[in-house]
Structure 1
Amino acid sequence: MSQYPPLTEKEFELVEAYNTILNGPFEDKYEDKWEDEPFDIALKEFQARVQEIGFSNPFEFLARYNIDSYETMRAQFKKGPALCFRPGWKSPLIGESINIEAVLSKCHYVSGPLLDTRCRVVVIDFWAKWCDPCVQAGPGLSDLADEFKDRIAIIGIHNDNIFSSTNEYNIEELNDFLEENQDGFRYTIYIDNEEGFARDNVYNPGGYRGIPCILLVVDGVVKYVGSPQESFRPTLMQELETIEAGRAREE
C-alpha cells in the first residue's frame, strides 16, 4: 500500500527520464566532484524530454519526491545523498547495547510469535505500510524467519510517521493490512507507541534515514544497521557462524 496511487504511463516515463538523464549520471558527482556545465546540458535534455512526454509542469508530480523546481533539483544533486547512503557509512549504534525487551514493552504487540528471550540473534525491521520497499521486503524477511526458525527472531516495528515527530497510528488499519498480506508478513509485528518511543530511541539514533531499516542485534549488541538489500545477510550469516563455532568449542 502506497500513500500515492500507482504511476500513470506518463509519470512512469517521467521517472525513467529522470533516472536515465539525471540521477544515473549525477548521483555520485556531489560536493567536490560537482560541475555545473555537464549538469546544465543534461538538464536541457531532461526538459526537452519532459515536453515530449507531455508534462506542462513536472513538479506537480515530482513534489512527492521533494523536488519543486529545477533549482531544487540542482541543489539536491550538488549536495549529494545523506551520509547514511554514501559508501563506507557506519551507524553510530554499531557496537552499542540495546535492550530489546524494554523497547518492545513500550510498543503495542500486533501479531506473530512473542519474542523468545533465549534467542541470541534478533532482527528488527522498522517499516510502514505505505512504503512500497517495506512491503516488498516483507516476504524476504518472512522467508528468513522460516529458514532460521529457532535461531533468529525477526520483529517488525511499524510506524506510519517514522519521518516525523508525531505518531498518529491505527492498529485496526494495520491489522487489516496484515490480514490482506498474511503471506508477506509471517514474522512478529509490533506498532510503535503514541510517543514514537522506538523511533526516537532506536531508529533515529541509528542514523539510517530510510525504510525499511534493519537492525541486527546479537547478544544485545547492535551489529548492523541499514537496508535489507545491502550487506545485511552476509553479516547475519557471519554472526550465526560465529555463534555455532562458539558452541562447537564448548562441546
Structure 2
Amino acid sequence: MKLTIQLFAGIAERLGTSLLEYEYSESTLTAAHLKESLALAYPEAASQIRTSFLAVNQQYAPADTIIETGDELALIPPVSGGDGTGDSDTEHRSSPSEHRTQDGLYMITKSPLSVEATTALVITANHGAALTFVGTTREMTGEQRTVHLEYEAYVPMALSQMAAIGSEISERWPGVRCAISHRIGQVDVAEISVVIAVSSPHRSDCYDASRYAIERLKQTVPIWKKEIWEDGSEWKGHQLGPWNPMEN
C-alpha cells in the first residue's frame, strides 16, 4: 500500500519535508499501526510522531481506524490554536491567501485581521449582546523576548474544525452565533493572530461561549505557531497537559 502523508510544524521541520511518501507492506493497516510504523522508520522524529494524532480525510482518527488506499492522511502534532468541512465546504475568495467556509463565518488568512469585520458577522437584530476575543503576539514571556510568531495550518481541516466549534456552541447555547478568523504566516509583536466573536440575546451566554471557543480552538484546530526569538526558535503546541483533540 503506497501512502502519501502530509506533515506539519516540528515533524515536517525534523524530517525536511511536508509530504511523506511511505509504502506499507501488510494488507490491513490501522491508524495506530501506521503511527508506530512511521516512528520506527524515522527514529529521529519518533517522539513527535507518537504524540501526534493521525487525520484521515480531514478527521481525527481513532487508533483502530482502517486506512484505505486513496485516503487523505496527515500527521497532526499538538496544536497551538492561536494562543494569545473539507474542501467542498470552503471557498477561495478574492485572494489565494484567504480561505473561508461557505457561510463566511470562519476564515484563515495571511492578511492582517479586522476585529470589526469579524464582529460584524455575528451582529443581528435579535441579539442584545456581542463579545469579541482578540489574541495578539506577546513580546515578553518571562525574560525571553519574542521577535515574531509564524503560524502554519492544515487549512481545510482547520476550517472544518472551526465550523464544528460553532456547531458545538449552538448546541450548548441555542441561539448563540460564532465567527472565528485566524491569521497564518508571520505575525509581529502586538499584531492580531486570532479573533473570535460571539453574539446572543443575553450577555451571560456570550461570556461562556467565548471562553469555550478559544479553549476548543487550542485543543482541536490544526494550527501551529513557531516562536522566533532573538537567539533561536521553537514550535509551540498544546500546553495544557496531555493532548487529545477527540475529548470533549
Shared fold per TM-score greater than 0.5: no
Indicate the TM-score class for this superposition, using the shorter chain for normalisation: under 0.3
Greater strand content: 2
Greater helix content: 1
Q: TM-score, normalised by structure 2?
A: 0.27
State the structure with more CA Rg. 1
